[in-house]
Amino acid sequence: MPHPLVGQEGLGIRPPTLDNPGMSNSQKVAEFNLWADSFHEGEWACRNIAREIENQGGSFQVQYDQGFIPAFSFQINDLEIGVHVYGNYGSWSPKPKALEDLLAWGKPDLVLINDRNDEILMAVEETAATPTGNQALQRCERQFGSAIEGFPFWYLISEFGLHSDGGVRRDSVWPSLMGLEIMTSLEIPSIVLHYSDLENPEDYESGKGMRSLFRIMMGVLINSTNGAEPMSGLEGELQSQIEEMTHFIDLTATNSLYFLPESESTKEEDLTKKLCATGDLRSSHRKDRENYLIWPLARELTALQQEEQSSRDLKKQDLFARELEKSIDKGESYGIIRGSGSKPQKEDQMKTWISQQNSLQMTWEKEVDSKYEELFRLQLKDFPKSPTGYHVITAPRILYLFDAFSKVIKCLSRAFPDLNYKSLLSIDSPSLVYVSNSVKPGRIFGDPYTGQIAAYATSFGALSKGRKFIAYFPHQSVAQAVNNFNNPSNKGLRIMKELTDYLVFGGGITLDMKTGEVL
Amino acid sequence: MKPKLVSISEEIVRWSFEISVNRSDDWFIAFTNPTAGPWKRITAPDSNGEKGEIHRFEIDETRPDLILVNDKTQLVLIIEAKTTFNDLQKPAQLAKTCQLFESLTLRLRNMSNNNFWGSRSKYEYSLGLLWSSGDESKSQISKTCQDYLKNITALTKDIICIQGYLENDSLKSKAYKAISGEILKLPN
């Protein structure tokens, strides 16, 4: 059935037409539920959908069931679309199974569900500010969670934000890069939309993003009321959203990356067609995984790119981090992210965390082979002191792209000669090494680290299995991961199980994330 | 599938109260503080009814949960909302709320030159506490409000209590002055 709102050129190209002479005169009625992190956001979304409906000649009413549940009724052509808003996920029961599964990855701000069959139609994350630094990636785990559960996802984010120093900051490239990789690998919409502009930072009405999001939501509601596939006929709007993403990446990538590989612009049209044509996104379309960007091997870097690659000094000494840096000089790997800051940690906190890490490790050692004994112990004196605390940074970069997994293993073997990594030498694949120097117990399983892992692993080919992903936590005890390996409520480990291959903990003790075995 | 409400959170009590406020001719919401969204500004209409920004909170700045204004009775309510009364009794919360009330009241009282706030700088400013009714007793409420008042006695003479409660499956709220006991005709 043709979509009533889409002309030949689609929603993104020109205002949609309401003419639909082929449709019957009988009124179609459908009910939807908009679940939201808060009622404010849910009602805000519905009022913006209402604005788009009114722009198309439709109308709406709202009443409050039980005095507080917003119940919107949209009328457009011969359709009557009801949307109830349920704010604050934890206050309601029962919840649709699909929603429970999605929330286990983190709570999106909005989830639109068809009341008839409890099917999730789309999830939305939105931020009122431009997240900077570590925070820029903290919602990426929700973006990933939605993709892995098979639900279309839109992330509305301010492109320009006011920083407390009075300056204007621009959004990070990672959510957009990750979105394009998800769409290419899984063929599920994972769109990042930007609002605001340089003159009007954090202003929802500036820029294209907000209205584009609500045109999509309106289209999905109309399609579902008509019994059509949710994204059917929305090619124009979706294509323009994807083009905005690629444009944003082209403009901003080299602010934080040394370089960006060339992408094939013709892919965008194919991608949009696939995204709109696919109905059930949950299982059958994941066979032929591709990458949107093909990141080169170290040996393929141009002379100009190679010029920027050389080892750097370590702030806190660490044998594996030293080997990682040396691998750059050997041409075995390269760094892709420019710079990384070091925020000193307070002495009293450090003492507590170090004691907790050592205690966790010693308890674990009592239950396992003696070969791990005393391989990992933290001492405050090993951390360089600064006027405000202690530096925890070891490797001066967060990511290393290796040509061969075996080279990573050789780095590990040299750094930790008491452990045997030989069984891993046969693995043949390019690899990505991620380093998090966090000392606080458990922190690596929460914000912002899980978001970072989701963004980096996805962006560099983990979904297509193009690269092995190794995460290194020099200041964390392996015991935390072993003890929680089968704990379904540990969101961080769930993401790591999906996206990483090996976790290397303090002392070089390595956990195989596919088997749960400590090497 | 339509779900049922199984627990009342701070956000839900606040939300239902805001709906009542929005239905009132006398009160308007100058600020609300949900978890996210384009709402971190205090706004108010000028004499021509045109809405403008009074103050924009920084990301890390402490914010109240609600600011309500009644131009008829010339009252500004700065409200702290919590899921339970117990949350409002905690000493750290009391100190934080009183400090915020003091700094915000002084800020707003010094905005007589602001086009959108202007004469509202001369209004009476009161602290409101909003929560979902539980097993707290009248004496507990009275004592806690007196503790709050001790910290801000130079700025206000009473504490406004707003209690959310369920009645016949509908969320409602009642408002009264904690010390004098006067029932208030706040939106309901």
The rounded distance, in Å, linking the Cα atoms of A180 and A246 is 8
Q: Is the Cβ–Cβ distance between A405 and A427 less than 8 Å?
A: yes
Q: What is the mean pLDDT of residues B73-92?
A: 93
- The confidence score (pLDDT) of residue B35 equals 53
Asked whether residue B86 is assigned to any structural domain, the reply reads yes
- Among A149-158, A262-271, A320-329, B60-69, name the most confident range: A320-329
Residue entry with tokens 């239905």: B23
- A308 plus A273 within the same structural domain: no
A111 pLDDT band, cuts 50/70/90, is very high
Mean of per-residue pLDDT scores for chain B: 88
What residues make up the domain containing A412?
Answer: 298-512
* pLDDT tens figures, A373-429: 889 999 999 999 988 899 988 888 999 999 999 999 999 999 999 888 888 888 888
- A267 plus A340 within the same structural domain: no
A15 pLDDT band, cuts 50/70/90, is very low
- A342 plus A386 within the same structural domain: yes
Q: How many residues comprise chain B?
A: 188
Q: Pick from B2, B36, B169: which is nearest to A41 by CB?
A: B36
- The confidence score (pLDDT) of residue B58 equals 75
Q: Pick from A33, A44, A87: which is nearest to B12 by CB?
A: A87
- A319 plus A235 within the same structural domain: no
C-alpha to C-alpha distances, A103 to A3, A96, A315, nearest whole angstrom? 31, 11, 39
Chain A residues interacting with chain B (CB cutoff of 8 angstroms): 33, 37-41, 44, 64, 66-68, 84, 86-88, 90-96, 109, 115, 118, 126-129, 164, 202, 204
Asked whether residue B184 is assigned to any structural domain, the reply reads no
The number of distinct structural domains making up chain A is 2
C-alpha to C-alpha distances, A12 to A177, A199, A204, A244, A388, nearest whole angstrom? 21, 25, 19, 11, 52
Mean of per-residue pLDDT scores for chain A: 85
Helices A140-149, A174-186: crossing angle, 10 deg rounding:
10
A465 pLDDT band, cuts 50/70/90, is confident
Q: Pick from B2, B32, B172: which is nearest to A67 by CB?
A: B172
Asked whether residue A18 is assigned to any structural domain, the reply reads no
Asked whether residue A13 is assigned to any structural domain, the reply reads no
User: Using the beta-carbon criterion (under 8 Å), do B6 and A204 form an inter-chain contact?
Assistant: no
> Within A227-316, where are the H helices?
235-256, 267-277, 303-307
Q: Is the Cβ–Cβ distance between A320 and A313 less than 8 Å?
A: no
Beta bridge partners of A65: A69
Beta bridge partners of A267: none
The CATH number of the domain holding residue B164 is 3.40.1350
Asked whether residue B3 is assigned to any structural domain, the reply reads no
Token pair belonging to A501: 């291959």
Beta bridge partners of A113: A33, A120
- A310 plus A383 within the same structural domain: yes
The rounded distance, in Å, linking the Cα atoms of A141 and A458 is 10
User: Using the beta-carbon criterion (under 8 Å), do A38 and B35 form an inter-chain contact?
Assistant: yes
- Residue A197: which residues within 8 A CB-CB, separation 6 or more? A159, A160, A203, A206, A207
- A355 plus A477 within the same structural domain: yes
What residues make up the domain containing B88?
Answer: 10-33+62-177
Q: Is the Cβ–Cβ distance between A123 and A153 less than 8 Å?
A: yes
A112 CA: distance to closest CA in chain B (Å): 13
Q: What is the mean pLDDT of residues A58-64?
A: 96
Rg (CA), chain A: 25
Asked whether residue A207 is assigned to any structural domain, the reply reads yes
- B76-99: buried (b, 16+ CB within 10 Å) or exposed (e) per residue? bbbbbbbbbbeebbeeeebeebbe
Beta bridge partners of A435: A472
Asked whether residue B162 is assigned to any structural domain, the reply reads yes
Residues of chain B with C-beta less than 8 angstroms from the C-beta of A41: 34-37
Asked whether residue A265 is assigned to any structural domain, the reply reads yes
**What is the amino acid identity at position A160?**
F
- A237 plus A317 within the same structural domain: no
- The confidence score (pLDDT) of residue B111 equals 92
User: Using the beta-carbon criterion (under 8 Å), do A91 and B16 form an inter-chain contact?
Assistant: no
Q: Is the Cβ–Cβ distance between B19 and A67 less than 8 Å?
A: yes
User: Using the beta-carbon criterion (under 8 Å), do A93 and B6 form an inter-chain contact?
Assistant: yes
Of A51-55, A109-113, A221-225, B35-39, minimum mean pLDDT range: B35-39
- A183 plus A83 within the same structural domain: yes
A91 CA: distance to closest CA in chain B (Å): 5
* pTM: predicted TM-score of the whole model, two decimal places: 0.86
- CA of A39: which chain B residue's CA is closest? B15
Asked whether residue B44 is assigned to any structural domain, the reply reads no
Q: Is the Cβ–Cβ distance between A157 and A127 less than 8 Å?
A: yes
Helices B10-23, A39-55: crossing angle, 10 deg rounding:
50
User: Using the beta-carbon criterion (under 8 Å), do A128 and B38 form an inter-chain contact?
Assistant: yes
Asked whether residue B118 is assigned to any structural domain, the reply reads yes
| Torsion on CA atoms A82, A86, A89, A91, rounded to nearest 10 | -140
C-alpha to C-alpha distances, A161 to A108, A248, A433, B41, nearest whole angstrom? 21, 15, 31, 15
H-run or E-run covering A452: helix A449-459
* Residue where a domain stops, chosen among A277, A308, A323: A277
C-alpha to C-alpha distances, A1 to A27, A226, A373, B65, B137, nearest whole angstrom? 16, 8, 67, 47, 62
Q: Is the Cβ–Cβ distance between A505 and A493 less than 8 Å?
A: no
- A230 plus A331 within the same structural domain: no
Asked whether residue B17 is assigned to any structural domain, the reply reads yes
The number of distinct structural domains making up chain B is 1
Q: Is the Cβ–Cβ distance between A325 and A396 less than 8 Å?
A: yes
Q: What is the mean pLDDT of residues A270-289?
A: 55
- The confidence score (pLDDT) of residue A17 equals 37
Token pair belonging to B11: 């956000």
Asked whether residue B49 is assigned to any structural domain, the reply reads no
**What is the amino acid identity at position A5?**
L
Share of chain A above pLDDT 90, in %: 48
Residues of chain A with C-beta less than 8 angstroms from the C-beta of B36: 37-38, 41, 109, 126-128
What is the phi/psi pair of residue A358, to 5°?
A: -65, -40
- The confidence score (pLDDT) of residue B124 equals 93
- Among A140-149, A187-196, A508-517, name the most confident range: A508-517
Residue entry with tokens 């915020």: B100
Q: Is the Cβ–Cβ distance between A418 and A337 less than 8 Å?
A: no
- CA of B58: which chain A residue's CA is closest? A164
Q: Provide ipTM, 2 decimals.
A: 0.86
- The confidence score (pLDDT) of residue A133 equals 63
**Residue pairs between chains A and B whose CB atoms are closer than 8 Å:** 89
- A273 plus A391 within the same structural domain: no
The rounded distance, in Å, linking the Cα atoms of B1 and B4 is 10
Instruction: Bin A266: left if φ > 0, else alpha if -120 < ψ < 50, else beta.
Output: alpha
- A409 plus A476 within the same structural domain: yes
- The confidence score (pLDDT) of residue A3 equals 35
Residues of chain B with C-beta less than 8 angstroms from the C-beta of A39: 11-12, 15, 34
